[in-house]
């Protein structure tokens, strides 16, 4: 068992906080690396996770004092914290709309990549970050009901094995964290030292779909088409009296929206950069 | 479609109109609908006081240059809204 000073961390997103406490230096290091840009001051927490080393390789996790899991590897423990913690943060927010989306900033122009798992948004976000854009998130964005700017859950970028080419030439293998699900957690600063961005005014809303072998196809969406698609990515609609409709509609009014079908990252990145650079 | 059917909104839908098109959201039932300008007009007229036939007649009179299209498009828009659970009939 590891002996050391307990570290308390507070992970913030969409107006809520989860607390994580552990005395294990590996756990503390992993949190400080992969949640670094989501960490903040002590705040009332909707859930408190305690991760304890029970032997040389195993960890147990309790949530709000109830033991949940034991004999977890570090990778499994971090994966659980990422999944369960984010689910709780998303579901609890009644002040911010939460959308499944990656987000970046290019010359202070916010770019939203909206889509569910498998649409390729994390890989595209990583590629654009490596190309010099600022990074907000690869997973979920939040929009406060009365504000114009969006924020992101600025965790490490979670990439599937097939996307390793994005980071392989930019950083050493030993700086990448591999939980047991074969994904790679890549700190955005490894791709671009100035990447993290706290919030931005959205200007472009994209619905990308990776299709192997497809040429780049783009289609401009009407505001209603964009709203229809955006609402499908809204995670916490039930928390708002109007289902989040008015705030989501406001967002679609302030952006240009497109669908994107692509296979070549270089080509789509060029198109996104050019589109974001237009006045 | 029976032209004598009366049409009502199902409860719980939120409406947003953008450039003439509509988006309907039912947060509890997790239904999201996008409708054309025709569907938007239909939605506004489905208040329980009009039949399918009356709505077709009303819109044909309002847009005589599109009367032929309206004969097809309006029932299609009504059927789409019924199929998606946004309209009820009697």
Position A5 scores a pLDDT of 58
* DSSP-based three-state secondary structure for A96: strand
> Closest approach of chain B CAs to the CA of A242, in angstroms?
6
Q: Which of B15, B23, B27 sits opposite A228 (nearest CB)?
A: B23
The residues, any chain, with a CB within 8 Å of residue B45's CB and separated by 6 or more, are B7, B55, B58, B59
Question: For residues A5 and A47, what is the distance between their CA atoms, to the nearest angstrom?
Answer: 21
pLDDT at A4 > cutoff 60? no
Domains of chain A by residue range: 7-92, 96-277
Q: Assign domain A96-277 to its CATH superfamily.
A: P-loop containing nucleotide triphosphate hydrolases (3.40.50.300)
User: Which stretches does DSSP call E strand in B1-90?
Assistant: 7-9, 14-18, 21-26, 31-35, 87-89
Max distance between CA atoms of chain A, in angstroms, equals 58
List the single best residue of A98, A145, A225, A227 to mutate versus B (max B Cβ within 10 A): A227
The ipTM value here is: 0.91
List, for residues B22-79, the tens digit of each pLDDT value.
999 999 999 999 999 999 999 999 999 999 999 999 999 999 999 999 999 999 999 9
The interface residues of chain A toward chain B in range 211-230, judged by CB-CB distance below 8 A, are 222-225, 227-228
* β-pair type (A96-106, A140-144): antiparallel
Q: What is the pLDDT of residues A86-95, one digit of tens each?
A: 999 999 999 9
Question: Residue holding tokens 């032929």?
Answer: B68
Residue A230: CB atoms within 10 Å: 27
A253 min Cα distance to partner chain B (Å): 8
Residue in B29, B31, B34 to test binding to A, most A beta-carbons within 10 Å: B34
Q: What is the pLDDT of residue A197?
A: 92
- Specify burial of residue A220 (Cβ count, 10 A radius: 0-12, 13-18, 19+): exposed
Token output for A39: 């960490």
In this structure, what token pair is assigned to residue A3?
Answer: 């002996």
Alpha-carbon distance A196 to A138, whole Å?
12
**pTM listed for this prediction:** 0.92
The answer for residues whose C-beta is within 8 angstroms of residue B16's C-beta and 6 or more apart is A224, A227, A245, A246, A249, B22, B23, B25
Report phi then psi at A30, rounded to 5: -65, -40
Map out the domains of chain B with their CATH numbers: 7-89 (3.90.930.60)
> Which distant-in-sequence residues (6+ apart) come within 8 Å of A92 by Cβ?
A14, A16, A46
Of A196, A194, A157, the residue nearest A177 (C-alpha):
A157
**pLDDT above 50 (res A102):** yes
């Amino acid at each position: 068992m590891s002996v050391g000073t307990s570290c308390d961390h507070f992970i913030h997103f969409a107006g809520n906080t989860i607390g994580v406490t552990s005395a294990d230096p590996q756990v503390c290091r992993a949190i400080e690396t992969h949640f670094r840009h989501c960490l903040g001051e002590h705040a009332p927490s909707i859930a408190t996770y305690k991760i304890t080393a029970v032997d040389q390789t195993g960890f147990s996790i309790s949530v709000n004092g109830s033991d949940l899991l034991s004999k977890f590897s570090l990778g499994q423990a971090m994966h659980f914290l990422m999944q369960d913690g984010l689910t709780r943060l998303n579901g609890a927010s009644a002040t911010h709309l939460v959308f499944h989306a990656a987000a970046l900033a290019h010359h202070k122009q916010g770019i939203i990549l909206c889509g569910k798992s498998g649409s390729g948004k994390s890989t595209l976000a990583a590629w654009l970050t490596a190309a010099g854009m600022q990074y907000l998130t690869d997973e979920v964005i939040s929009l406060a009901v009365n504000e114009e700017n969006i924020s992101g859950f600025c965790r490490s970028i979670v990439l599937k094995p097939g996307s390793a080419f994005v980071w392989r030439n930019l950083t050493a293998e030993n700086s990448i964290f591999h939980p047991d699900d074969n994904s790679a957690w890549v700190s955005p600063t490894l791709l671009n030292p100035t990447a993290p961005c706290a919030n931005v005014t959205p200007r472009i809303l994209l619905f990308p779909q990776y299709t192997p072998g497809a040429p780049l196809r783009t289609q401009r969406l009407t505001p209603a088409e964009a709203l229809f698609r955006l609402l499908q990515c809204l995670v916490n609609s039930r928390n708002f009296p109007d289902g989040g409709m008015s705030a989501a509609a406001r967002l679609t009014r302030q952006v240009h929206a497109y669908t994107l079908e692509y296979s070549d990252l270089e080509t789509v990145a060029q198109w996104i950069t050019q589109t974001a650079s237009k006045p | 479609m029976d032209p004598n059917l009366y049409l009502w909104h199902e409860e719980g839908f939120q409406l947003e109109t953008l450039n003439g098109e509509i988006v309907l959201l039912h947060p509890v039932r997790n239904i999201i609908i996008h409708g054309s300008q025709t569907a938007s007009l239909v939605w506004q007229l489905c208040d329980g006081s009009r039949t399918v036939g009356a709505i077709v007649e009303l819109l044909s009179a309002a847009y005589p240059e599109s009367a032929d299209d309206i004969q097809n498009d309006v029932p299609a828009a009504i059927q789409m809204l019924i199929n998606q659970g946004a309209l009820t009939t009697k």
